[in-house]
Every structure is written in C-alpha cells, then in structure tokens.
Structure 1
Amino acid sequence: MLTITDDLGSQHIFNQTPKRIISLVPSLTETLYELGLEDQIIGITKFCVHPYHLKSVKINIGGTKKVHIEKIKALNPDIIIANKEENTLEIVESLKDICPVFVTDIVTVEDTLKTITDLGKIFKRTTDAKKWVEKIKFANDDFERFMEAKQWQKAAYLIWREPYMAAGNDTFINEMLKLNRFNNIYEDFEERYPEVEIRKMRIQGDPDLVLLSSEPYPFKEEHAFEIGRVTHHAKTVFVDGEMFSWYGTRLFKAFQYFKALQKRIEE
C-alpha cells in the first residue's frame, strides 16, 4: 500500500500499483513514457504530442481545458494525472468520482524533480525516476557553470498576440528565464500571464531581448517586425516554447537547447 500527497494537499492511498493511466498534461505524458509506462497509458489529450506515435495508439480524451468525461469513464482508469495550471479545478473536481486525480503544481526545477520522484513512487518506477532526476540535476549544474560568465539581460517573453500576452511571475517559464539570466520585465506584474501593450514595452522595462515563443501562439517574422518597430534596440528572438514551458523529463533536453540559444543570441 502507498500513501502519497499531491501538490494540492490531497492524500491518495493506493492498495495496488495503478495500471490504467490517463494523462491530462502533455509534458507529463512524455515523462510517463520516459519512465517506461507506455503500455499503462490509456488516454491522453490532443496536445500530448511527444512521443508523436502516442497520438495514433492512445485514446484522445479532449484538451487540457475541456475533457470528455464520458469517454474517460468508459476507459475505467486507475489514476488521472493533472496539473494545477494546465487543467481547471472544475475538471479535477468532475473527475474525482471516477478515480484518484493526482494534481501536480510545477513552477521550479525542484518541483519538476519532486514530480518525477512522486510518479516513480506511484507506479513503482523508482529506479527510472532516480535516473532522470540525476540526469536533470547534472544538466542543471552543467548549465549553471556555462552561464557563470554571462551577463544578465532584460527580456520579455511573449506567448500570445491579439491581445499580446507575456509570461509573468510564479510561472515555470519565468524560472527558465532566470536560469538563462534573463530579467523578466513583467516579473512584477500582478497577473501570471499579463496582457501587455508592446508600444509601452520601452517604458515598462525597455528589454534587451523580446522572446517570441513557438507556442501557444505561433509567432512569425511579420510579428517580429511589428514588435521591432516599437521596441527599437531590442533584439527579437524566436524560441522553442516547449523548452521553456514543458517540465518533466523534457527539462533534460532544455538545458542543451538553452546553451545553443545563448550562443545564437551572442551572434
């Protein structure tokens, strides 16, 4: 028997290891796969795109904000993996009558490592989880050494257009920005993802860099030109949104990506 508390403080008791998993969190679907649990995953969201082949062999139960309750019931899951930011409280509450809903809340690297460890405990994949935790810690330490001589730069990280929206404080993206020594000009805003006016960007923080994420909004060259006209000296840089916003085992790849990004910015 395993007793474990999720990140919202809900205690879960498992008399046996859950065998039928539904994941409502794309990055944690990938993490479950990396922990050797592909066969146990029975349902995923339409945004669970890594590894790509899962889309063709697992049941699509909807999106991260809107799920098909009846389809989930029919799958008879033993556990549902959710996330405080990715999934609404309404979704979590509506699924609790079906089976345990293990809710994660991930903002920092340490939160990521805890989640991987927790998943290892729940599914008896502690050895695999420990391996990934050690790999990510090593990559994190290596990247911190790589960044030691780098100067801090002011940055804005845009995630949406019409209206423009940016990543703010208390977000995983903001933590990744700090690892890259990017001072987020919207870190002091009240909202976690504030709406912003690009014409005010210079007086709100005058960033050195404007990072244009590949998701959820697919920024293009014309948007970089539009932003460049009002930010003047700021350099616009297209970045892989998955590397800044996907936690779990993806973080290991992210550190290598960040190295390449730093070199690209210096060019």
Structure 2
Amino acid sequence: MSEQTVDAAGVEHASAGDDARIVSLVPSITELLFALGLDRQIVGRTGFCVHPRERVRAIPKVGGTKSIRIDAVRALRPTHAIVNIDENERTTVDALRTFVPHIVVTHPLAPEDNVALFALLGAIFGRRDAAQRLSDALRTELDAVTARTWPRQRVLYAIWRDPWMTVARDTYISAMLRLVNWHTLPDIDGGPTGAQRYPAFDLNARWLADVDRVLLSSEPYRFTQSHCDTLTQNPQVAGGLAGKRIELIDGEQVSWYGSRAIEGIGYLQRYASRH
C-alpha cells in the first residue's frame, strides 16, 4: 500500500486513466484540481465551487456542499467523487457510493496536511509533477511564516451568527491561525466530526473576557463592515465582545486548503503584520 494513494478514510486508490470523470463536492478541492491541470476531467461541482472564476463556470453544478442533488451527479456518470468529512453529509456520501466507483475522502486538519493532499490527488490522477510543484511552493511559505516571531494573541474566529458559531482548536482554520501565534478560543477540541468542531456560543459567555481580538470571517456567513460597526458601537448588542478589537478577515484565505493554502499563508502573514 502506498501512503500517497490512501485517502482520509483509509482507502487505497488505484491510478485513474485520462478518461476519469471527476465530480468535486469541495470548493477548495475544485480549485486544486484546476491547479493540477485536470480541467478536462472535472465534470461536476457544487454551487460554492467558484474558483478559478472564469474556468469553473463551464462545469455543471450539482447543488450545495450539504445539499447535493444525487440525480444530477448520477447523470454526469462520474468515475470519481471527491468529498470532505467536514463539508459533506455522510448520508450524501453513502448515496454516492451506490453508483460512483471511486469516492475520494479528504480531511486536512493543518496547513502541512496539504502536502499529502497534493500527493494523493497527483498520484490518483497522474499529476505527480504538478503536485510536487505545489508542495514545494507550500513549504516555502511555511518556512517563511515559521521563521518569524509572532506575538501571541487569543482570538475569536466567528463563522456564523444566529446562532453565533466559531471553530474548535483541532480544525484547519485554527491550525492556520496558529502559524502566526493566534490561538482560538474557546480552548476546546471538537473531535473528528460533529457540531463541536464548530460550536455555537453566547455573546455573554464568560470566556470571551480572555479574547484579545475578534475576527469576523467572510464565509460561510458573509460578515461585513456593518457587523463590525454594530458590535463596536453598541455595547448592549456586543455583550462580551464590547470593547474588543473587531475586524473582518478573508475566510477563503484562512479556511480553504489545497492550492489556496499557498496564497493563504502569505495573506495571513500580511494580515497579522498590519493588524
């Protein structure tokens, strides 16, 4: 068994031929497939797979990451479907297994896990050289960020409101932020799956007193400057966030793994340096 061809579910995948038909149900993976030069093999994507913008438009949509239209996927006759443990529903994946010959499961939990992700897809789809180039570029960015000394910060990274939701310490987002010595609160691990990976919280939670800065992400909820202004200017609404430093952050750059991680690490360094 080759480690390069074993996915996050422990399944070993054989090399696919040039006639592979890939449906990607993960936005960041779709972008990665284009970066690997697999344009002609991609036959389906979700509505949230929006990068690269000009090239992805020609690929049929099959629903959202958590609302896949199974019949739409079936009609595309895929040989491979690429899914993610956090982003896709287990029931969806089980349904796909009944007619898709190869289900490739992904679950990167830290920036360095992208090296294995590149190798996995590169090996399956015959793009080893392209995968190696991406790995080299990623290692360059990782070396650059780890070579610097970053002041320690305790941060709240908000991904949703009504209810308010954040990220556990063992998520990819939290690991990305640790590259610049930003540590997410609350200090909990969510486990391999489930709601506790992205826990809800109350704006009056006591642990918010320990937060140094609040990061409102642009996705999956699209926080805007108006949300920052409301929380900054209205202490009654802000609750435990009153008086905190509240900022917007680009969620794609922080939460998208795959090829975007290379750009994302650079973005995070610039962001931390400015802020």
- TM norm. shorter chain > 0.5: yes
What CA distance in whole angstroms lies between the structure 1 residues aligned with 2:260 and 2:122?
16
What CA distance in whole angstroms lies between the structure 1 residues aligned with 2:19 and 2:209?
48
1:216 matched to which residue of 2?
220
What CA distance in whole angstroms lies between the structure 2 residues aligned with 1:171 and 1:15?
30
Deviates more, 1:154-163 or 1:9-18: 9-18
1:198 is displaced (CA, Å) by 1.8
CA RMSD of aligned residues (A): 1.9
2:131 matched to which residue of 1?
129
What CA distance in whole angstroms lies between the structure 1 residues aligned with 2:6 and 2:242?
49
| Contact 2:26 2:49 (C-alpha < 8 Å) held by counterparts | yes
Residues 146-186 of structure 1 show CA distances to partners (whole Å, capped at 9, x for unaligned) of 3x2x2101110000011111111221111011112112121
| Contact 2:163 2:200 (C-alpha < 8 Å) held by counterparts | yes
Of 261, 265, 269, the residue aligned with 1:259 is 269
Residues 232-261 of structure 1 show CA distances to partners (whole Å, capped at 9, x for unaligned) of 442111000001110001011012211220
Matches within 5 A, 1:96-245: 96-98=97-99, 99-146=101-148, 148=149, 150-188=150-188, 190=190, 191-200=196-205, 203-228=207-232, 229=235, 230=239, 231-245=241-255
Deviates more, 1:218-227 or 1:176-185: 218-227
Change (3 A) 1:14 1:36: closer
**Structure 1 portions without partners, runs of 5+:** none
Matches within 5 A, 1:59-74: 59-74=60-75
Q: The residue matched to 2:204 in structure 1 has which SS?
A: helix
Residues 52-87 of structure 1 show CA distances to partners (whole Å, capped at 9, x for unaligned) of 124421111111111121221121111111111111
Counterpart code for 2:64: G
Counterpart code for 2:269: K
| Contact 2:170 2:189 (C-alpha < 8 Å) held by counterparts | no
Q: Which runs of 4+ in 1 moved over 4 A?
A: none
| Contact 1:107 1:172 (C-alpha < 8 Å) held by counterparts | yes
What CA distance in whole angstroms lies between the structure 2 residues aligned with 1:152 and 1:128?
36
Counterpart code for 1:216: P
| Contact 2:27 2:49 (C-alpha < 8 Å) held by counterparts | yes
Q: The residue matched to 1:12 in structure 2 has which SS?
A: coil
1:97 is displaced (CA, Å) by 2.2
Q: The residue matched to 2:269 in structure 1 has which SS?
A: helix
Counterpart code for 2:10: G
What CA distance in whole angstroms lies between the structure 2 residues aligned with 1:18 and 1:154?
49
| Contact 1:158 1:165 (C-alpha < 8 Å) held by counterparts | yes
| Contact 2:138 2:261 (C-alpha < 8 Å) held by counterparts | yes
| Contact 2:22 2:80 (C-alpha < 8 Å) held by counterparts | yes
Change (3 A) 1:109 1:233: same
What CA distance in whole angstroms lies between the structure 1 residues aligned with 2:41 and 2:95?
22
Q: Percent identity?
A: 34
Counterpart code for 1:127: D
Of 245, 250, 254, the residue aligned with 2:260 is 250
